[in-house]
A and B are shown apart, each in its own frame.
Chain A
Amino acid sequence: MTEQVTPKVTAERIKQYLEQGKRFDGRKLDEFREISVETGISENAEGSARVKIGKTEVLVGVKLNVGEPYPDSQDKGNLMVSVELLPLSSPKYELGPPKFDSIEIGRITDRAIRESKIIELEKLCIKEGEKVWTVCIDIYSINDDGNIIDAACIGAIAALKNAKIPFYDEETGKIDYDKEPTGKLPLAKKIPLSISYHKIGNQIIVDPTTEEENISETRVAIGSADGIISSMQKSNGQSLKIEEMEKILDMVEKVWKDITKKIEKHI
């Protein structure tokens, strides 16, 4: 079972290793664990995906509803992202209303997707000012061994790419699931990903295990595609030197390319 707190001796040893550019599992500082992506894993969802990064696992489903547009975007579809950190997935998650962690991961994933403009929301308008599609992306943790946040975004993108628009009957105003879907979700050709960088001691790493994540001093989540950054958030109260921030920014393109290479054949 995963420790909920990383013991001090382990923390010291992790930092010593990082100083030498090493990690317990033999990875480089900017290297992810094995990533696996499987799509179409839940048949009642319009799109779905299972993502594993090492022992970390998430399930993501996309549902489409017809609803009213927001007042400030009368001719565009809506996007909603929610994250449930299930008590099933780790002893550290308890029952009850969503905690800050899951809200923040949801909002970071939401912005990475929204700001990248991967979903062509203007094509999801059924009748201007009255009816539009709402894209709901729901993310559930199945096993948390660190870096649920990056798994969430990879899963969201994979599930979006897998998603089809169900048949909407304009006369009854209802979705008819017995009829064939009317097409794929309109998406731009890009793979925007939110990747988080962690400062531990003097080093910056990606894809922390739980052991590493527990001692992360600062996390910077960066949403990017093809070297263009479209969202970013620094979390936790610790500050970051400008040089450290620059070091992170210098990693963005390479890490994104590495991950994209690993996942693109599955999505």
Chain B
Amino acid sequence: MTNTFKRQDGRKPDEFRKVIAKVGVVPNADGSAVFEFGGTKAIAAVYGPKEMHPQHSQDPEKGTLRVTYNMMSFSVHDRIKPGPSRRSMEISTVSGWALDPVVVLDKYPGKVVDVHIDITQANASTRCAGINAAALALAHAGIPMKDMVSSISIGKLDKQLVVDVSKFEEDWEEGEGATDIAMSFTNSGELSHIQLDGHISVKELKEAIHLGRKKTKEIYEIQKKVLKDSIKLGEEND
């Protein structure tokens, strides 16, 4: 990858925005976290495992992971009407699929684990920030997990691959325009989520996936540190 490409916010092509991650931000919840990529800020809270209502949605074999994604009305320039939309409903489901492979709910038949993601400020890549926050909140809640999930967006601006797409880059029109690829990996390296909008060759997409894999390892290290530090803090308080 060439490092001469100039990004509007001065980042290197393979650099994500400043990450801020914290757990324990919603005292009422069983687990909670914030995850920020620069101007994109997500908060997530986990409640459960608890009784699944309505009853007909219960799975007698294992517990269900139920994720909801919501953008606050004022998180973007043009106010969003509060309440679910087609977009938010799809992202909710896709975020659930991103997390499903690592969450172990065999011991909770008939139960549900609710994960609520809210975007408090948006500057693109909101679903990736949301998934990262949700994975942290699940771990913070002590939900059995066999691995972690880390998410990143890879963009292609004209022919250049970039990491962690901003709003400015999402609207890129020069050359081949913008391609936006949101992806999530388990730490063991499996892809649990990928979505793409744009225009990209097979070769470039393969490259983008490998870049995403490399960068989610860095996200994973941040998530791991936040969780470890939260336990240390807890010990000091005891």
Contacts and interface: CB of A to CB of B under 8 A. Distances in A.
Interface of A: 1-2, 41-46, 48, 55, 59, 61-63, 65, 82, 84, 86-91, 95, 97-98, 136, 138, 140, 142-145, 175, 177
A143 B116 CA distance: 13
Task: Please classify how large the interface on chain B is, using the bins under 10, 10 to 19, 20 to 34, 35 or more.
Answer: 20 to 34
A42 B72 contact: yes
Contacts of A145: 27-28
Q: In the A-B complex, list the 9 residue pairs whose CB atoms are closest, starting with the nearest.
A: A61-B74, A45-B74, A88-B116, A63-B79, A138-B73, A88-B45, A42-B121, A177-B77, A55-B27
Contact of A138 (B27, B30, B39, B74): B74
Given A45-B74, A88-B29, A97-B83, 20 more contacts: A1-B29, A2-B28, A42-B41, A42-B72, A42-B75, A44-B75, A44-B76, A46-B74, A48-B74, A86-B70, A86-B116, A87-B68, A88-B26, A89-B26, A98-B83, A136-B79, A138-B74, A140-B118, A143-B27, A144-B28
A91 B28 contact: yes
B192 interface: no
B122 A44 contact: yes
Contacts of B14: none
Nearest to B68: A95
Contacts of B83: 97-98
B172 interface: no
22 contacts: A41-B121, A45-B74, A45-B75, A59-B72, A59-B120, A62-B74, A82-B82, A87-B68, A88-B45, A89-B45, A91-B28, A91-B47, A136-B74, A138-B72, A138-B79, A140-B118, A142-B25, A143-B26, A143-B28, A143-B29, A144-B28, A175-B77
B114 interface: yes
A72 to B, nearest CB: 24
Given A2-B28, A89-B26, A95-B68, A63 B74 contact: yes
Contacts of A86: 70, 116, 118
Nearest to A42: B121
B68 to A, nearest CB: 6
Contacts, number: 89
Contacts of A82: 73, 82
Contact of A43 (B72, B79, B121): B121
A144 B70 CA distance: 18
B118 A44 contact: no
B77 A44 contact: yes
A190 to B, nearest CB: 24
Contacts of B25: 142
A61 B72 contact: yes
Contact of A142 (B26, B47, B70, B75): B26
A65 B81 CA distance: 12
Interface string B38-72: 01010111010010000000000000000010101
Given A44-B122, A138-B72, A144-B28, A88 B43 contact: yes
B74 A1 contact: no
Contacts of B120: 41-42, 59
A231 B141 CA distance: 42
Interface string B107-127: 000000010111011110000
B29 A138 contact: no
